[in-house]
Structure 1
Amino acid sequence: MKRNLILLPLLLYFYSCASAQKVVESETPSEIKTEISYFEETSLSRLRDELNQIFSDPNFSNAYWGVVIQSLETGEYFYRLNEHKSFIPASNMKLFTTAVALIKLGPDFKYKTSVYTDGEIKNGVLNGNLFVRGSGDPTISGRFNNGDVIKTFKDWADSLKNLGIREINGDIVGDDNYFDDQYMGTGWAWDDETYWYSAHISALSFNDNCVDFEIRPGKKIGDTAIVLLTPNTSYVKVVNRVLTVHRDSTTQIDFFRIPGTNIINIFGRISLKTGSYKESISIHNPTLYTVTVFKEVLESKGIKVNGKPIDIDDTNLSPNYDEMKVLASYESPPLSEIIKVINKRSQNFYAEQVFRTLGKIFGGEGSTQKSVEVVKNALAQMGIAPESISIYDGSGLSRLNLVTPFQILTLLNYMYRQEYFSYFYESLPIAGVDGTLETRMRKTKAQGNVRAKTGYVQYTRSLSGYVKTLDGEIVAFAMMVNNYLVPVSTANMVQDIVCQRLANFSRTK
């Protein structure tokens, strides 16, 4: 790095290109000793100069960057800028959630959701209630079932039929008491609640707590659009105000779910040339949603249900599961696969479910408060002081989260040396290949090389992870920018250029 030279004019003339000096005061004020240290410009010093120029981009004059880059082999810092300042991390928060989950739960951890009964089976009739007991599992969906969102429910129905059950004289009760009832994260924006990325948190969940919409144009201009739902359920009421427009018009569609209800308004227009428009919209009360769709599947399989789907919170029931029969169950994929969904797809719902699970298992309560305590205690073991980091959720959707680039680097450094590093590393998006980095850094040395977690909420962009240099040296980096007003693509470009420069860096050139 270039340093100011405090030299006499003559010495400055001779040594400005190849030397740096420091002035040292002796015990006697009148005596001044000057030491001149010679150095050659290195590839690392050139890299630092380039990074200084990159992060001085005038497009971000009203914003501020926080950056730290370190060799994980030598410990040498390649670059530091505001690394101890606090930033809103956005989805870089998922790095903390998934790292702690791997360490505390292990990569082989699995959720289990079971169907119990408090009744007896006689002559093909179950006289009693069915209880679906949730454990926080986020995976009951089509994601791990080849797109069949109701496969788990169909399997449960088959299990009941194999037990000879053809009719149920009782209710289908959803038990979500493994977690508390705070269904949104602290600091989440109310006007995001409609959308998939703000799906409700619940110990009993199904299909990411969303309904999936496919909207197609009508046959002619002016026709109301065709709306298809997955699952095809009576749980939501759709108000369709989307009209079909000329082929030359653009498609613009938006949604609004009335808070506290499952009335979903769709409005806008769809062009005749649009094949289909797809979106996932959150539902209210995931527990009731789960047991409603389960009841619908049971009936479609020929099992008559004389009761109703109901949330256990709306009953006086206190089931003793130790004394009840298990009729069917579902086991999730291992945590190593779950964190891939969290990090590669930046899936907020999965992150929040895992976050609450940590609070329940290690703090005795599936609440935000206990989850924060568990995560902070784990981070303390990594060298991150609990009082120096602000955590309000597990996904990064809250704008109340505050972390420093150095804390992210500390986490990345710590995980690099842990036995579960390969699971953590493999969960991260790969530049130009998959996840949220699929379309970035293509046709560069960074493609297939950079493994990093993206982060975005309005006016915030983050990218943190690992890259190998041209020499094969592995480097960890954290880049965060807050308060910018330029397009997100401009922030992406800066981060991508830095990653490309690191991927092309060599100490010998």
Structure 2
Amino acid sequence: MLPLASRVSTFSKELGLATLLTASLLIGQAANADTPNPMMKTVLSTAKKLSLDKDNLALAAVPLNGPGEAHFMNADQPFNPGSIMKVVTTYAALELLGPTYQWHTRIYTDGTIEGDTLKGNLYYVGSGDPKLTEERLWLLLRELRSMGIAHIQGDLVLDGSVFNLPNGIADFDDDGGNPNAPFLVEPNGLLTNLNVLRIRSRADERGIHSWMEPALAGVELDNQIVVRKYGSCPRRFQFDYTPSVTEDGLTKITLTGVLPEGCTTSSYLSILDQADYTGALLVGLWQQLGGTLTGQIREGLRPRDSSTELLATTSSNDLVTMVRDINKWSNNVMVRQLYLTLGARNRTPDDADDLAAADRTIREWMAGKGIDSSNLVFENGSGLSRKERISARQMGELLEQAWNSRFAAELIASLPLVAMDGTMRRRLGHADMAGMGHIKTGSLKDVRSIAGYTKDENNTTWVVVAMVNDMRAWKTEPVLDELIEQVHLAARVQPIHTASNQ
């Protein structure tokens, strides 16, 4: 589908000058935020009640397949989009990699198998898989045990070279005070289990019992939580943790706090870097399977010649499944893995690294669709950034293009359902709109945003985009929800303009 202005222009050429004047007036109305129609007046009224300056709000609402008038406000100004930037990355990936794309993580050896012993090194070659789980690693190692291998006389070599990042990755300027928060996990070729530990504690008549999932070799808990005889169970975790390294090189996590008897609590955190986490998980699972390793765990490269032999492979779910997990729950590290995969798969000698390759690849893809990428700023493709920028019009045009993509169904189904699931499950339930839209959300300090599709009462599907960049953004979700609700009521509150009745 052509962008709105192009569609009106093409239609006007066919119907003559009178229609051209009418259509031009319509475009002028759509672009003029100073004389908003009832729909926009309601949205701006909500913004005013929340002391939101309209200059800090960008909007785009465009009907796709039925009657309605397009509306834009500050639509050409670049805004920090927050997590709606994930829509750009996932849509690009569906078209550039294909919905059936998979990641393949492999184990090689440079040794020989004698009886139940592998004499030589084991090379674990990461693929950048966004969601390589503990369960899949267990199955991968069980395949080695099924071959009759029980003992490895050599090193476990971790090869995470799939991504070219010679200068590393810039840290996110987080202000949450928790450097171990799971949403801050950085991408890595060796990423496993999202690099997250779940620590659980239960208080009962025996005292406090604490454990971690998954169990990692070389990581231990120092449980200092105190049992309280009576009290209400906490809704969330109620303990503090302090990581440290012991003299013998073990990672120790000291737990402190108070937990009433009969209660269970848990917390998710990321303590180890990706290589240490994956190495500890592999060794822990290997030991659970009855295996032994006599060598070291170290990072290195698998020789790219005939000196190594492939032993086992684990393949990820397809890209469609990954995209759904990314967009429904706004998973940062998964989409950052995907962004780097786009770079790695399209790398050229002129690209400084895979971040630059991904940036170039997506811009070229957008240019092929006739979408201007001026003022667009990528940092990591996730929206977890103080630097990323996109305009409401650019996002709207991408969503229009996606509506006509071969993979429209796959992208749209990945977006949270209004009032039903994902990050939209608790929004707009009061408006009787459950399931009436697929909307990606975004939030950072000073940022709130939405992007996706919703239907009005005529069953017309609309693209809706809204971004707030304001120091009071945390309280502006009602403005964004009001836009979705007013689009749903569009047929009631505005005159209808269509190609057929002009």
Give the TM-score normalised by structure 1: 0.80
Which of 167, 171, 195 is residue 181 of structure 2 equivalent to? 195
Say whether the 8 Å CA contact 1:429–1:453 is kept in structure 2.
yes
Give the AA of the match of 2:308.
M
The residue number in structure 1 matching 2:344 is 360
Higher normalized contact order (CA 8 Å, seq sep 6+, divided by chain length): 2
Instruction: After TM superposition, give the deviation of residue 234 of structure 1 in Å.
Output: 3.1
| Closer/same/farther in 2, CA of residues 185 and 375 from structure 1, 3 Å limit | farther
Counterparts of residues 90-169 of structure 1 (less than 5 Å):
90-141=82-133, 150-169=134-153
Confirm or deny that 1:286 pairs with 2:270: no
Which whole-Å CA distance do the structure 1 matches of 2:470 and 2:255 have between them? 32
Q: Extract unaligned runs of 5+ from structure 2.
A: 1-35, 497-502
Structure 1 residues 379 and 217: alpha-carbon distance in aligned structure 2, compared to 1, 3 A threshold: farther
Mapping of residues 415-494 of structure 1, within 5 Å: 415-485=402-472, 488=474, 490-494=475-479
State the distance in 1 between where 2:202 and 2:73 align.
Answer: 49
More divergent stretch after superposition (248-257 vs 410-419): 248-257
Over 3 Å counting, the alpha-carbon distance change for 1:472 and 1:394 in structure 2 is: same
CA spacing shift, 1:48–1:457, aligned 2, 3 Å: closer
Q: Is the contact between residue 43 and residue 479 of structure 2 (CA under 8 Å) also seen in structure 1?
A: no
Partner SS, residue 67 of structure 1 = strand
Structure 1 residues 210 and 438, CA, compared in 2 at 3 Å: closer, same or farther? same
Offset of residue 270 of structure 1: 3.6
Paired residue for 1:144? none
Whole-Å separation in 1 of the counterparts to 2:356 and 2:67: 35
* Per-residue deviation, 1:254: 4.7
1:498 aligns to 2:483 (yes or no): yes
Structure 1 unpaired stretches of 5+? 1-43, 142-149
Q: Following TM superposition, by how much is the alpha carbon of 1:238 offset from its aligned partner in structure 2, in angstroms?
A: 4.1
Give distance in 1, aligned partners of 2:256 and 2:398: 44
Displacement, 1:189? 2.8
1:449 to 1:133, Cα distance in 2 relative to 1, 3 A: same
Matched to 1:305, the amino acid is L
The residue identity in structure 1 corresponding to 2:387 is L
TM-score (norm 2): 0.82
Could you tell me how far apart the structure 1 residues matched to 2:461 and 2:297 are? Answer: 54
Could you say what secondary structure the match of 1:60 adopts? Answer: coil
1:233 pairs with 2:213: no
Give the partner amino acid of 2:198.
Answer: D
User: How far apart in 1 are the matches of 2:67 and 2:252?
Assistant: 55
CA contact (8 A) 1:185 1:393 kept: no
* Residue 400 (structure 1) aligns with: 387
Find the partner of 2:318 among 331, 334, 349.
334
User: Residue by residue, what CA displacement relative to the aligned partner does 1:51-100 show, whole Å, maximum 9, x if unpaired?
Assistant: 33233334324982111111123696432221112211110110111011
Equivalent residue for 1:209? Answer: 195
**Aligned match of 2:78:** 86
**1:176 aligns with one of 148, 160, 163:** 160
Task: Identify if the C-alpha distance between structure 1 residues 322 and 93 changes in structure 2 by more than 3 Å, giving closer, same or farther.
Answer: farther
Q: Relative to structure 1, is the Cα distance of residues 57 and 433 closer, same or farther in structure 2, using a 3 angstrom cutoff?
A: same
Aligned partner of residue 59 in structure 1, secondary structure: coil
Supply the distance in 1 between the matched residues of 2:305 and 2:140 (Cα, whole angstroms): 18
CA RMSD of superposed structures (Å): 2.8
Cα distance change of structure 1 residues 180 and 476 upon mapping to structure 2, 3 Å threshold: same
The total of aligned residue pairs comes to 448
Aligned-pair identity in percent equals 23
What is the CA–CA distance in structure 1 between the aligned matches of 2:441 and 2:63, rounded to whole Å? 20
Which amino acid is 2:372 matched to?
A
In the other structure, the counterpart of 1:29 is none
Query: For the residues of structure 1 that align with 2:239 and 2:53, how far apart are their CA atoms?
Result: 35
- Alpha-carbon displacement from aligned partner over 1:89-117 (angstroms, at most 9, x marks no partner): 11011011101111100100000001101
